[in-house]
Chains A and B, each alone.
Chain A
């Protein structure tokens, strides 16, 4: 459905995208995972034909993003990173506006947005600018869906949204997927990533790795320890001097330590004890996608 071949985009000397290639199959929910400034938004703007790539080629439903932009605009539903509906129009007016722009009506495609719109209905006469973050997101999704697009392009739809609304949002995406819509979604949140069929980890305009979330997590190449102590920060510092360490990152109230397969628990415990760290628990855990990403990023840093 979406085919991206060696797409690069430069802004002067800054390379936002560096020869990116990947494909999204029909009906897939594909996630672009990466920190701010990794080039995700540039890619979305290229796919929606708002931006021309410096080099490379991209097609959306077989349409070239540069030459067939008119066709693309008919079949794509786009939610930009920044809320971009009319703040001074009401919920209903916004929806009606975008329906009419696409020569359709709310009634015609109501089935697509029914579930979301039911949540919005109590506020339908409220101005979009007065909605909460989660409600704005739902309205934006409704507006992107109202013309029955084949492909949804969602640029960081869950940024600035509370965890409950975020979960609602992903439930909706899953349901839309079942109705056959292909979705490309970007997010900086690792737990969003697990809900995708396939994810690409992006950093500095390059794809570090691409696979199903399951395979990515399983492919974590090291032994991973979860260490809970009284002081995370101190533990991290102390682990810097742990010779067989591969990487160590703070995860909430614990530290995830990656080591080679030959390291045993006793060695870690002893090292921490020597440096007066009060250990609460230590255990081997299965890697999470976030561990994979952190690990990949640390290699990137090391090599550059």
Chain B
């Protein structure tokens, strides 16, 4: 016990004296949360729109005004020539073209069917899809409004769908992203700190001196793990504070539960880092391996893309991804107020994995070559 505390104390002194590390540990969670939460936004804004108006009627002008008034679209130009717009797409100035046909107003007012045409720059397929969707919605609304105004009862749909978004009524993407980014933060810090640590002692040569002492493997690993566990929880606290106080993310669940899960999760991630540390000889190798794992873990975590929309084989791989379980839990507990009973499977999986990985790291750490 005394030896474990000794190593913990040593690690803290070393981190405290590290001129780069100390400010980084405080600044990193704040910067990451602040920047990523604003940028990782899936709503599409500032879509540059070109309208080919071949009708030049009051009705077409009304439609153009309505689209122009939306937050999502910037009306760049209106012209009767389609190719004016297409040339601008090629120059990357225009994202979407809306083409209003001749006799649009005449056909509509006489109750006949009329067709509009939308073309989008689909290099970014997500953005194109979302843009077209927005535009269709606006046009559909417009059509309904005009039909009501003109008394065309036939156009009114018989079924009225009303919507309610549970747990995030205004579909505030930040409520969804901020907890996700917190998990990313905790994971990165824990993985990199522990991944680089033992290997650093190898590189500097201090491990050579340590290995001839009677320190036991478990004392060494636990002594290394504890300081990072404390730092990880500290980082999580900063992240949580930013999420609650700045982004006003609702917190419905239990604080204790979320800290308990985070602690167990940290032990797992630190164990992975320790394991990386034991199989590498230089900090460079450890860095590459840590990056390799964190990129896969992050992209396959359900943080940015829903796991349900991944191919089945990829979904199976995500079962081995610790971030997946953590993201799930943190969103459930924070936004939905879930209790332990609804996250106990995740808790069990992460706990077992934490024990296994740390045992592996301990067995793999050799004092003798």
Contacts and interface: CB of A to CB of B under 8 A. Distances in A.
Interface of A: 45, 48-52, 69-70, 73-74, 76, 78, 80, 82-89, 93, 97-98, 100-103, 127, 143
Interface string B1-41: 01100100010011001100000000000000000000000
Interface string B176-219: 00000000000000000000000000001111111111110000
A184 to B, nearest CB: 14
Nearest to A86: B206
B17 A88 contact: yes
Contacts of A52: 368-369
A70 B213 CA distance: 9
B62 interface: no
Given A73-B214, A74-B214, A89-B10, A103 B209 contact: no
Interface of B: 2-3, 6, 10, 13-14, 17-18, 204-215, 367-369
A70 B210 CA distance: 13
Contacts of A48: 212
Contact of B6 (A85, A87, A101, A143): A101
Contacts of B3: 100-101
Contact of A76 (B206, B207, B212): B212
B212 A103 contact: no
Contacts of B13: 88-89, 93
Nearest to B216: A70
A254 to B, nearest CB: 39
Closest 4 A/B residue pairs (Cβ): A84-B205, A84-B209, A82-B205, A101-B213
B2 A45 contact: no
A86 B368 contact: no
A98 B213 contact: yes
Contacts of A97: 6, 10
A89 B367 CA distance: 23
Nearest to B207: A84
A88 B369 contact: no
A93 B206 CA distance: 14
A82 B6 contact: no
A143 B215 CA distance: 15
Nearest to A155: B208
B309 to A, nearest CB: 48
